[in-house]
Structure 1
Amino acid sequence: MNFFPSRTLALYMAKMLTLRTLAVLAMLVLVLQALDLLGESGRIMAQQGNGQSELWTYITLRAPQLVQRFLPFAVLLGTIITAATLNQNSEVISMKAGGLSAHQILAPLVITSLIVAIISFLFNETVVAPATARLSAWERVDYGPIPAASNVRTNVWVRDGNNLVNAKTVTGRGTDVLLQDITIYDRSGNSLRSLMHGDEARFTGTTWNVTGVTKFDVLTGTEELKESITIGDSLRPDQFTLANVDAASLSFPQLMSAITELKKAGRPTMALQSNLWHKISSPLSAVLMPLLGAVAAFGLARSGQLFIRAVIGMALGFAYFVADNFSLAMGTIGAYPPILAAWAPFILFFLIGETVLIRTEE
C-alpha cells in the first residue's frame, strides 16, 4: 500500500509528465489560436476604429477558453508520451523488477494530474469565466466598443404580454438592475402601434421608470419627446438578468446563485445544474488521463506493440471526451439527471481504466 516507495522516482515521473503536458498544451493553443484568429480577424477589423490592439484583446480573451478546453487532451497526450518514453527506455521494466506494481508506477502521474485539475478549476473560475463573459458581450456588439462592466448582458429581448422590450445592455442584478438603450415595441395583435426608445430604465419596485424617451406613433407618423415614462408593471427584473444565463460565463458561485434565482422564479434549471456539476467533473477529468493512457507504459517495447498500445490509450481518452460531451448534451435537454450527466462518464471510464490495468498488469 506504499504508493511512493521512492521520492526521487516520484519527482522524476511528475516532472516528465508536467513538462510534456505543458509542451503539448502550448502547441495546441498556439495552432488553434492562430486558426481561430484567421477566421475572426475579418469581423474584428470590419468594425470601424478597430486595429492591432483589438486583435490582441481578442487573443487574450480567447486563449483562456482554448486552455480550458484542451488541457485534459494535453494531459492525455502528455501521459502517453511519458509512458511510451519510460517503456521504450526499459525504465518501466526496471521499476517492476524493483518490486513496484502498476498502480505504484502510475501513482506519481495521478497525483500530478490531480494538482493540474485543481489548478485548472481555479483558472476556470478566476480567468476563463470572466474572459468568456467579456468575449460573449463583445461578440454580440459585433466587436464594437467593449462594455466596461464585467457582468453586462447585451441585446436582451423580453416579452411583456403582447409587447416586446429590447435592452442593448443590462447591468446589475435583482432590484438594482439597469437597462440602457431600451426600445419598447407596443403591439396590438400582430400590428405595431408605437415605438418607444429610452436612454435608461430603472426598476422602482413595481414598475419601470424610463428616462429620455422618444415615442413614435406608427398610425399618425408623429414623434413625441418625453422626459420620463412608467412602463411594465408586469415586467420582473429577473426576466432581463436571467433571460440568457450562460453557464460558461459564470463562476461556480455565480452559477449557483443564478440557479437559485431561476428556481424562485419558477423557471427550469436542469440544464444549468448539469453545467454546474460539470464545472467540477471537467477539470477532474485530468485525473483519469494517466489511468486511460497507462496502457502505453506496459508491455515489452521490443515486441512491436508499443505503437498499438499508445493508440489504444488515445482511443480510450478520446472515447471519454465523446461520452462526456454526449452525456452533458443529454443533461442539457433534460434526458439525464444533472448529477448523472456530469459524473457518469467519469465513473464509467474510471472503472474501464482500472479494469484494463488490473487485468493486463496486476
Structure 2
Amino acid sequence: MVAGRLSRYFGRRFLGASLTVFVGVFGLVLLVDYIELMRRSAGEANASALLAAGISVTRVPQIMERIMPFAVLVGAMLCYLNLSRRLELVVARSAGMSAWQFVAPAVIAALLVGVIATAVYNPIAATLQEQSKRLEDRAFNNAAQSGLQATGTGFWVRQRSVDGQSIINAASSTDQGVRLGGVTVFMYDLAGRFVERIEAKAAVLEEGYWRLVEARRYPVDAPPEKLADHQLKTNLTLAQVRETFATPETVSFWDLPFFIEMADHAGLAAAGYRLQYQKLISRPALLAAMVLVAAAFSLRFFRFGGVQKMVLSGIVAGFLLYVLSKVTEDLSKAELMHPAAAAWLPVFIGVLTGLVPLLYLEDG
C-alpha cells in the first residue's frame, strides 16, 4: 500500500517537473522566434505584431517535438535531485523501496507521454506548421521567402499533358505543395523541344490544372507576354503533388503510411518517410530511455557529494545520444542504414546507458 502510494507520488513529481521544463523552453523559444519575426517584418506593410505572434505560436510546436526528449531528461533529473535533496528518497528506501521502484513510475509515465506525443501532439504540430507557412506568406507578401526549401534551387516536379511536358520549379511550398511560390515553368512540346518559359508569383493547384498568378510568358519566337492569371494543364492529382512536395516532418503520423505506399508505387525515394515513421513509433521508448539515463546520473544521495559532476555527466550523455540520432538519420536518408535501425539504435544505446549504472547502483 505504502509502496503504491509512493510510486504514484513519484510519477506525479516526474510529470510536473517535465511539464515545467517543457513549458519553460516553449516560452523561451516562442519569445526568441517572435523577436526574430518582428525584426524581419520591420519593413513589411502587411506584417503586424499580432500576425507575427500567430506565426510563432503555430511554428514553435513542431520545434518542441525535437526538444521533447531533452525536456524529459532534464525534468527527470530535476525530479530525482529534488527528491534526494529533500531526503524523500531516503524515506522511501527506509520503507523498503528499491531504485527500480523509484524509476518505474517515471518510465511508465514517459511511455504514456510518448504515445500521446506520437498519436496526438504530432498531427497537431504538423497541421500548425502548415498554418504558420500560410501566415508567413500573408505577413511578408513574398511566397518566395517562405515555405520549406527542398534543395538549393527549390522544388522541382515534372508533369505531362496532351500538349507535351513541363518542368515546374518553385522557390517555396505551402499546404504540402498545393500552393507554390516563386514559380518558373519550362514548357516542351511532344517532340521534347523547348517552347517557352513562364514565370509567376504563385501557383495554386486546381482540378486538372495549375492556376498561375501574375504570370509572364517568354516564348522562344515571340516577345514576352504579361498575363493576369494563366491555366497550366496537369495530370497530377492532389495526393501526388502532396507526396512530391511534403517533407517528412510536416506529414502527420497517421498519414505517413499512405505517403510511404504512394512513394513506393511512384518509384520515388521513401527513406525519409520511413525514417520519420519509425522515429515516431520509437518515441515512447526514447522518452523512457531518457528517464533511465536521468535516473542513472541523479539518484545519488546528496550526502555522498559529487552531485554537480553527476548532473553534468547526465547532460553530456543526453547530448551524445542526440548526436548519435543525427548520425543515424543521415545514414538512413543516404540509404546506408535501414530506417528502423536508424530510429531504434539511439533508443537501445540510451536504455543500456541508463540500465548499466542502475544495475550497479542497486545490485552491485
Shorter-normalised TM-score: what interval? 0.7 to 0.9
Corresponding residue number in structure 1 for 2:29: 32
1:323-346 deviation line (CA, Å, top 9, x unaligned): 222212221221110100111110
> Which of 130, 133, 136 is the equivalent residue of 2:130?
133
Corresponding residue number in structure 1 for 2:146: none
Corresponding residue number in structure 1 for 2:315: 314
Corresponding residue number in structure 2 for 1:278: 279
> Do the aligned partners of residues 360 and 262 (structure 1) sit closer, same or farther apart at CA in structure 2, a change above 3 Å counting?
same
1:90-124 deviation line (CA, Å, top 9, x unaligned): 22222223222211121122122222222322343
> Which of 76, 79, 99 is the equivalent residue of 2:76?
79
Does the residue aligned with 1:49 lie in a helix, a strand or coil? Answer: coil
Instruction: Note the C-alpha offset of 1:239.
Output: 5.9
Distance 2:228 2:299 in 1: 78
TM-score, length basis structure 1: 0.79
> Which of 211, 223, 228 is the equivalent residue of 1:221?
223
Instruction: Note the C-alpha offset of 1:361.
Output: 1.9
Q: How does 1:245-284 map to 2 (within 5 A)?
A: 245-284=246-285
Corresponding residue number in structure 2 for 1:149: none
Corresponding residue number in structure 2 for 1:353: 354
Corresponding residue number in structure 2 for 1:339: 340
Please give the root-mean-square deviation of Cα atoms over the aligned residues, in Å. 3.8
Q: How does 1:237-248 map to 2 (within 5 A)?
A: 237=237, 240-248=241-249
What amino acid is aligned across from residue 100 of structure 2 in structure 1?
A: H
Does the residue aligned with 1:26 lie in a helix, a strand or coil? Answer: helix
Answer whether contact 2:38 2:49 (CA < 8 A) is retained: no
> Do the aligned partners of residues 266 and 203 (structure 1) sit closer, same or farther apart at CA in structure 2, a change above 3 Å counting?
farther
Distance 1:346 1:227 in 2: 52
Corresponding residue number in structure 1 for 2:147: none
Corresponding residue number in structure 1 for 2:16: 19
Distance 1:273 1:30 in 2: 31
Answer whether contact 2:186 2:198 (CA < 8 A) is retained: yes
Instruction: Note the C-alpha offset of 1:230.
Output: 7.6
Instruction: Note the C-alpha offset of 1:61.
Output: 0.8
Query: Which shifted more, 95-104 or 280-289?
Result: 280-289
> Do the aligned partners of residues 320 and 10 (structure 1) sit closer, same or farther apart at CA in structure 2, a change above 3 Å counting?
same
Instruction: Note the C-alpha offset of 1:29.
Output: 1.6
Distance 2:260 2:186 in 1: 30
Instruction: Note the C-alpha offset of 1:291.
Output: 0.8
Answer whether contact 2:173 2:180 (CA < 8 A) is retained: yes
What amino acid is aligned across from residue 222 of structure 2 in structure 1?
A: T
Answer whether contact 1:79 1:294 (CA < 8 A) is retained: yes
Structure 2's unaligned 5+ residue stretches are: 144-149
Distance 1:182 1:121 in 2: 35
Distance 1:100 1:117 in 2: 26
Answer whether contact 1:194 1:218 (CA < 8 A) is retained: yes
What amino acid is aligned across from residue 244 of structure 1 in structure 2?
A: F
1:289-315 deviation line (CA, Å, top 9, x unaligned): 221111344334222222222222222
Q: How many residues align?
A: 344
Distance 1:356 1:263 in 2: 43
Does the residue aligned with 1:122 lie in a helix, a strand or coil? Answer: helix
Corresponding residue number in structure 1 for 2:44: 47
What amino acid is aligned across from residue 25 of structure 1 in structure 2?
A: F
Answer whether contact 1:296 1:313 (CA < 8 A) is retained: yes
Identity of counterpart residues, as a percentage?
Answer: 21
Instruction: Note the C-alpha offset of 1:222.
Output: 6.0
Instruction: Note the C-alpha offset of 1:187.
Output: 5.8
